[in-house]
Amino acid sequence: MASRSSILLFCFYFFFFFLISHCFIVPIYAESNEEQGEEEEFSEELLLKPLPDRKVLAHFHFDSRTPPTNTYGRHHRLFPKAIYQLVKKFHIREMELSFTQGRWNYERWGGFDPISSSNAKPPGVELWAVFDVPFDQVDATWKNLTHALSGLFCASINFLESSTAYSAPSWGFRSHSSSLRYGALPTEAVCTENLTPWLKLLPCRDKAGLAAIMDRPSIYKGYYHSQRLRLASTESSSDEGKGTGIVLEQTLTVVFQPSVQRASSAYSGDRLLQPSWSIGSLFRRKVTGCCVLAKSSRVFLELERDLIAEIDKFEMENGIFGVDGMVSEGSWNNTSFELSVLPDKLIRDANGLHDRSSSVLYEFSVEKYSDSVPLNVGITWKLPVFWLCHQAPFHASRFLMGSGNERGSIAISLKSTQSHEGFLGHEVASSLTNSNGCSVRSIVFQVVPWYVKVYYHTLQIFIDGQPHAVTDVIEKIHVSPSEDKMSPGMLEVVLTFPCTMQSATLTIDFDKGFLHIDEYPPDANRGFDIPSALISFPDFEASGNFLKDNPSKSRLLFKLQEKRLVQSYTEVLLVPLTTPDFSMPYNVITFTCTVLALYFGSLLNILRRRVGEEERFLKSQAAMKLGLIPQLLAKFSAKLRLKQQGPPQPMQQSSTFGPKLLFKVILVAAVAVGWHLYFK
Amino acid sequence: MANNRGFWASVFLALLLRLVLIFFSKKLNLGSRPEIATPLTSLRRLAEGYWLKQSSMSPYAGSMYHGSPLLLSILGPLTVQSVEVQTNHIKCSLMFVIADFITAMLIRATGQKLQLAYSQSLRSLDLLKLLETSKIVTAGDVAALVYLWNPLTIVTCVGSATSPIENLMVVLSLYGACSRIAPLAAFGWVVATHLSLYPAILIVPVILLLGYGSDSPPKKLFCLRNSSTSGSDPSNYSHDQSSGVTSQPGLPIHSFTWKPVVHFILWASIWSFYVLILCSISLNQYGGLYEMFQKTHGFILTVEDLSPNIGVLWYFFAEVFDFFRIFFLIVFHVNILFMLLPLAIRLNHRPFFLAFVYVAISSMLKSYPSVGDTALYLGLLGLFVNELADMHFSFFLFCGYVGVGLLSPVMHNLWIWRGTGNANFYFATAIAYALLQIILVVESVGAMLNHDRMLRKHLST
């Protein structure tokens, strides 16, 4: 008996072990068999870049992806489960959520590079999503998604649930998609409570790896920070056996002003030097090793093309060539600047125009560094360099015109930055130049809340200050006008401008709406925000070309490589709206009702009033009509009430009303009894 | 004859003044005044609706346009502006000047008819001494001039709101009813109702006008007259009333004639069918008639737009708790309907005056009142210049109208443009205005009833 049970137990144990070992070993096999695309991956990268106006851009890029397999069932090693469930539940094909504070300065920080066109976001929260659900369920799914995200990121994204807050752009925002929803909350304040849940999605959180250097005070001290989360599911819905492959891309873009502390340079014009900085001075922390779960962990330092050109020019004058520099004492030395850490690799942009220099990326691998030897990438300038960033063909800005709280107009102004002339000489020109000469297209996508009642027929276009016929300039327009308390207004328009144009202005008039007292926010007199308009230039694509030198398959470089439309967001507008007196509801109700009562009462009074003569006549008529029996009754009652000895006139009156009164009393009593019986 | 020439001269001057003001209308910018252009009558919104329709969208898409699709087809093409020259709806304004002129002429014709009926009935009552002793002015001319020279009419016309056309339709209906042309009356009534819903209540006076003929002293005066001529004692005339209504020859005792009323109903159904067909044709590709009713009449009934106007409802519904909104909507609209029956009973011998009272009440209690409505009833008031000669408070009312007309823009400016005032200031003028209108209605009804009493007194003495 005992032996049998022990055998059973042994069998069980063996089976259990087999199961466990199978579970563990099989994935390893699988891993080794199919190297790519069948494994969850996580990579972390950081891009640092000096900006022309003495600021520094830091761009964190975390990329997690799960392959479209059921290898782990519903379990994930690296990929955040919350996101996986989100995608599963709401059938998200693509989604992007960004929290931004501050405004990206397109003039100084660039408007033509991949970073600015994909990572510069409007202030506040912006969310868009493409769903993989039937058309009629898109809105419901969107509403649920906003609530889920709101819980996930501790933000009031659920305000986007209301149909007045989101819109369904048809082609102005992204390429044609019927199941795209777009919403923005410009007033949303972004702070650490949004960053913490965002960091929680990383496998190492902010305990190790690049995320560990995110020192909250230094990040929020920056001029601009934008934390972004982008999801793309790569599933093929026909393939039922496979699950959903999801790519989760988390980026944090920060613009710092490095403090100028080190004045070590002997150069006379010391103040003209760009500020020198390092990771340690920017974040007050150093990179102390990678997240062990990350497949790759790298830091890049990018020097822009125009900066390199400037340096090259300078060095050409001095007879030295190249930015390659020389290695000295563990640092990268050059005539114009010095890198504090020796880069592992130098990557050149293959996209650069032949006659100009191309931008340069210095790559630093974090794997080599540890607590004892932290990575502290920094740059020390030796020579003063000035350069201009690469700008979008037009600088877009938006402003309000008019005064008072009744109406106004929105103006979107596009100023030529002259930079597109160069591009037109190359690949773009061929597609653009037609019989009339070349032209530049731009798409304006603008959502306005319903209380800004836009008159679309007042759309006017001024080119170089001269009014132009709207039909000449507008190639395509799509308007979905706002419904009061139902949906926001949306304007999507493709404009075609001549290349020689210096400035263009679009104006459109609006009336300010008047809201119900409950619809005002607590700070009603602050005004209401109109979300940023998005101006994109479909003829221009921003992309780097680092792929040639990208054997390491850096996700960030892939991302920079992607062809993206050049686009820029305009300012958020603050529209003051008239407020009623919030303390007045009762007064208004009582006043208005009094007026109505006055009308009703006095008119009715006039209608039923009779002058004395008519009164007497009616009375005599009534007396005559009474007939014999009532008269007898009246006499009888008069006799009965003889004791009262009143004047005859009122007595008669009372007597005439006697039977009526009696009848009324009886009627009321009968009704009361009936009522009582009925409800018993 | 000289009098007539003077009349035409002043009509011409009034039209000329309008044309001159239209020339400066861009400077005056009256079209965006809340007193003149309501969401229903604003020409700017009409232009927006037309633009939406031109870009193959429903004109009711978005909450901009709330007018009739027919108006869109007629006025829409006139609102299109060229790029260089900002014509600023001059063509539309010319249309409105013409509409104003026709309205004034119709009022004049109506006035002449009313006056004829009035003197006829006085004559039949042997009260010719009344005609001779008191100075009788030609009410039609007075009313037409009051309508044309009323500053409120002028600003409405120059400000290019569509209310002149609504007014024209109302007056057309009343004129048709007065001259017993059932198709015309039906057309005016149907179109006016289609345009702004409230003229629907005019069906009562129109039917009375068609049935009984135009205004006359109360029937019992005729009975009294009959009984006195037949020699019996006035004190027991009631006896005669029951028996002798039809018997007495020679005296026009108006009995209700059904034939024009049936005609009217027939024509009204034909016209409304026709209007609906036209609307459904013009809204064919879009939402159809249901959307039209929802966006025009539904918009009127559920006071959705809370922008300030000269009425009191906008502030009320901006402030009232949402929970009670529907209740008060019902209360306010029923308030118009409540008074219909009492007024109809008391004034059934004066259907045209009844129509005036209805117009005044609806323009006072309507959801989006404008000065254009006021202009209409003030013009109609001129028709009763003889009957209402001894109205109380007329000077006070005049001063009140002038005062409110001056104060209301000031308060609006203080609140909206300068930000120094407060919504309550503007609302106070709106309340004052409502009170003035109430006093006007009540006093005019009272004066009319007193006039009838006076006639009776004359008859009995």
How distant is the alpha carbon of residue A65 from its chain centre?
23
Asked whether residue A367 falls in the same domain as residue A414, the answer is no
Kindly state whether B327 is in contact with chain A, defined as any CB-CB distance less than 8 angstroms: no
- Give me the residue from B52, B238, B342 closest to A621, CB to CB: B238
Asked whether residue A325 falls in the same domain as residue A361, the answer is yes
Q: Which residues pair with B220 in a beta bridge?
A: none
Mean pLDDT (whole number) for A486-495: 92
Q: Which residues pair with A467 in a beta bridge?
A: A462
Asked whether residue A73 falls in the same domain as residue A130, the answer is yes
| Cβ contacts of A615 on chain B, cutoff 8 Å | none
From CA B425, how far away is CA B430, in angstroms rounded? 9
From CA A601, how far away is CA A477, in angstroms rounded? 56
Q: What is the pLDDT of residue B203?
A: 93
Give residue A393's pLDDT band: very low, low, confident or very high (50, 70, 90). Answer: confident
Q: How far is A111 from chain B (nearest CA, A)?
A: 33
Asked whether residue A354 falls in the same domain as residue A487, the answer is no
Answer yes or no: are the C-beta atoms of A225 and A214 closer than 8 Å.
no
- Give me the residue from A470, A592, A603 closest to B441, CB to CB: A603
Mean pLDDT (whole number) for B154-166: 89
CATH number at residue A437: 2.60.40
Q: What is the pLDDT of residue A150?
A: 93
- Give me the residue from A483, A602, A614 closest to B62, CB to CB: A483
Q: What is the pLDDT of residue A626?
A: 60
Print the domain residue range for A145.
Answer: 40-381
Positive/negative CA dihedral, B272, B276, B278, B279: positive
Asked whether residue A153 falls in the same domain as residue A239, the answer is yes
* Binary contact (B438, A595; C-beta < 8 A): yes
Q: What is the pLDDT of residue B90?
A: 76
Q: What is the pLDDT of residue A126?
A: 93
Give residue A125's pLDDT band: very low, low, confident or very high (50, 70, 90). Answer: very high
pLDDT at B189 over 90: yes
Instruction: Provide the token pair at B331.
Output: 């209360």
Secondary structure of chain A: what % helix, strand, coil (to 5)?
35, 30, 35
Q: How far is A468 from chain B (nearest CA, A)?
A: 7
pLDDT at B36 over 70: yes
- Give me the residue from B47, B314, B424 closest to A584, CB to CB: B424
Answer yes or no: are the C-beta atoms of A305 and A545 closer than 8 Å.
no
pLDDT at A123 over 60: yes
Q: How far is A591 from chain B (nearest CA, A)?
A: 8
- Give me the residue from B235, B306, B427 closest to A516, CB to CB: B306
Answer yes or no: are the C-beta atoms of A197 and A86 closer than 8 Å.
no
Q: Compare A643 and A501 and report the one with higher pLDDT.
A: A501
Give residue A306's pLDDT band: very low, low, confident or very high (50, 70, 90). Answer: confident
Please give the tally of structural domains in chain A. 2
Answer yes or no: are the C-beta atoms of A287 and A365 closer than 8 Å.
no
Give residue B115's pLDDT band: very low, low, confident or very high (50, 70, 90). Answer: confident
Question: For chain A, what percent of residues have pLDDT higher than 70?
Answer: 78
Q: What is the pLDDT of residue A58?
A: 93
Backbone angles phi, psi at A202, to 5 degrees: -80, 145
**What is residue A461's three-state secondary structure?**
strand
Answer yes or no: are the C-beta atoms of A271 and A125 closer than 8 Å.
no
CA–CA distances in Å: residue A222 to residues A56, A57, A60, A113, A216:
10, 10, 14, 21, 10
* Binary contact (B446, A515; C-beta < 8 A): no
Q: Is residue A20 part of a domain?
A: no
CB crowding B303-329: b at 16 or more within 10 Å, else e: bbbbbbbbbbbbbbbbbbeeeeeeebb
From CA B35, how far away is CA B372, in angstroms rounded? 9
- β-strand pairing of A296-303 with A41-50: parallel
Answer yes or no: are the C-beta atoms of A433 and A514 closer than 8 Å.
no
Among candidates A166, A181, A173, which has minimal Cα distance to A133? A181
- Beta-carbon neighbour count of residue A217 at 10 Å? 9
Residues 6+ apart with CB under 8 A from B425: B411, B414, B415
Give residue A428's pLDDT band: very low, low, confident or very high (50, 70, 90). Answer: very low
Q: Compare A341 and A333 and report the one with higher pLDDT.
A: A341
Q: Which residues pair with A227 in a beta bridge?
A: A99, A252
Mean pLDDT (whole number) for A414-442: 60
Q: What is the pLDDT of residue A36?
A: 44
Best mutation site among B43, B46, B64 for testing chain A: the one with the most A CBs within 10 Å? B64
Asked whether residue A402 falls in the same domain as residue A354, the answer is no
**What is residue A285's three-state secondary structure?**
coil
Kindly state whether B63 is in contact with chain A, defined as any CB-CB distance less than 8 angstroms: yes
* Minimum CA–CA partner of A483 in chain B: B62
Convert the pLDDT of each residue in B329-362 to its tens digit.
999 999 889 889 999 988 888 899 999 999 999 9
Asked whether residue A228 falls in the same domain as residue A354, the answer is yes
From CA A451, how far away is CA B304, in angstroms rounded? 12
Question: For chain B, what percent of residues have pLDDT higher than 70?
Answer: 89
Convert the pLDDT of each residue in B274-330 to its tens digit.
999 999 998 888 878 888 898 899 999 999 889 899 989 999 999 998 899 999 999
Asked whether residue A372 falls in the same domain as residue A326, the answer is yes
pLDDT at A330 over 90: no
- Beta-carbon neighbour count of residue A262 at 10 Å? 14
Give residue A472's pLDDT band: very low, low, confident or very high (50, 70, 90). Answer: confident
Tokens 């028709």 -> residue:
B383
Answer yes or no: are the C-beta atoms of B275 and B194 closer than 8 Å.
yes
Mean pLDDT (whole number) for A135-144: 92
| Cβ contacts of A581 on chain B, cutoff 8 Å | 422-424
pLDDT at A513 over 70: yes
Residues 6+ apart with CB under 8 A from A419: A112, A390, A391, A392, A393
| Cβ contacts of B51 on chain A, cutoff 8 Å | 456-457
Mean pLDDT (whole number) for A590-597: 93
Give residue A97's pLDDT band: very low, low, confident or very high (50, 70, 90). Answer: very high
Mean pLDDT (whole number) for B183-200: 93
Mean pLDDT (whole number) for A50-60: 90
* Binary contact (A604, B342; C-beta < 8 A): yes
Asked whether residue A354 falls in the same domain as residue A407, the answer is no
Best mutation site among B442, B443, B450, B460 for testing chain A: the one with the most A CBs within 10 Å? B442
- Give me the residue from B83, B320, B332 closest to A467, CB to CB: B83
pLDDT at A550 over 70: no
pLDDT at B163 over 70: yes
Answer yes or no: are the C-beta atoms of A83 and A218 closer than 8 Å.
no
Q: What is the pLDDT of residue A492?
A: 92
pLDDT at B234 over 50: no
Torsion angle in degrees (nearest 10) through CA of A355, A359, A360, A366: -160
| Cβ contacts of B315 on chain A, cutoff 8 Å | 580, 588, 592
Q: Quickly list DSSP for A144-162.
A: HHHHHHHHHHTSGGGGGGS
CA atoms within 13 A on the CB side of A512: 24
Q: Is residue A142 part of a domain?
A: yes
Give residue A469's pLDDT band: very low, low, confident or very high (50, 70, 90). Answer: confident
* Binary contact (B364, A599; C-beta < 8 A): yes
* Binary contact (B438, A580; C-beta < 8 A): no
Best mutation site among A406, A583, A600 for testing chain B: the one with the most B CBs within 10 Å? A406
Mean pLDDT (whole number) for B407-432: 91
Q: Which of A74-88, A419-433, B253-267 has the lowest average pLDDT?
A: A419-433
* Minimum CA–CA partner of B295 in chain A: A483
From CA B104, how far away is CA B144, in angstroms rounded? 5
Instruction: Provide the token pair at A196.
Output: 């913490």
pLDDT at B432 over 60: yes
Question: For chain B, what percent of residues have pLDDT higher than 90?
Answer: 44
Instruction: Look at chain B and count its residues.
Output: 461
N-term to C-term CA, chain A: 79
* Binary contact (B438, A598; C-beta < 8 A): yes
Residues 395-414 of A with CB under 8 A from B: 403-407
Instruction: Provide the token pair at A252.
Output: 């944090």
pLDDT at B85 over 70: no
| Cβ contacts of B424 on chain A, cutoff 8 Å | 581, 584
Kindly state whether A607 is in contact with chain B, defined as any CB-CB distance less than 8 angstroms: yes
Mean pLDDT (whole number) for B26-42: 84
From CA A604, how far away is CA A607, in angstroms rounded? 5
**What is residue A238's three-state secondary structure?**
coil
Residue type, A225: H
Q: Quickly list DSSP for A499-566.
A: TT--EEEEEEEEEE----GGGS-TTGGG-EEEPPPEEEEEEEEE----GGG-TT--HHHHHHHS-EEE
* Binary contact (B431, A481; C-beta < 8 A): no
Domain ranges of chain B: 2-230+250-460
| Average pLDDT of chain B to the nearest whole number | 85
Instruction: Provide the token pair at A108.
Output: 């100084």
Convert the pLDDT of each residue in B118-151 to its tens digit.
888 888 877 766 666 656 678 888 899 999 999 9
Answer yes or no: are the C-beta atoms of B48 and A455 closer than 8 Å.
yes
Residues 324-343 of A with CB under 8 A from B: none
Question: For chain A, what percent of residues have pLDDT higher than 90?
Answer: 26
Q: Which of A12-21, A210-219, A231-240, A491-500 has the lowest average pLDDT?
A: A12-21
From CA B419, how far away is CA A578, in angstroms rounded? 9
Kindly state whether A67 is in contact with chain B, defined as any CB-CB distance less than 8 angstroms: no
Residues 470-499 of A with CB under 8 A from B: 470, 477, 479-486, 489
Kindly state whether B62 is in contact with chain A, defined as any CB-CB distance less than 8 angstroms: yes
Kindly state whether B308 is in contact with chain A, defined as any CB-CB distance less than 8 angstroms: yes
| Average pLDDT of chain A to the nearest whole number | 80
Convert the pLDDT of each residue in A360-389 to its tens digit.
888 888 888 888 888 888 888 888 888 888
Asked whether residue A409 falls in the same domain as residue A309, the answer is no
From CA B353, how far away is CA B350, in angstroms rounded? 5
Kindly state whether B358 is in contact with chain A, defined as any CB-CB distance less than 8 angstroms: no
Q: Is residue A619 part of a domain?
A: no
pTM: 0.83
- Beta-carbon neighbour count of residue A57 at 10 Å? 22
Asked whether residue A99 falls in the same domain as residue A218, the answer is yes
pLDDT at B228 over 80: no
Residues 612-641 of A with CB under 8 A from B: 614, 620-621
pLDDT at B247 over 50: no
Kindly state whether B48 is in contact with chain A, defined as any CB-CB distance less than 8 angstroms: yes
Q: Which of A620-624, A652-656, B238-242 has the lowest average pLDDT?
A: B238-242
Q: Quickly list DSSP for A315-358.
A: HHHTT---S--EEETTEEE-SSEEESS--SEEEE-TTS-TTS--
Asked whether residue A320 falls in the same domain as residue A412, the answer is no
Instruction: Look at chain A and count its residues.
Output: 680
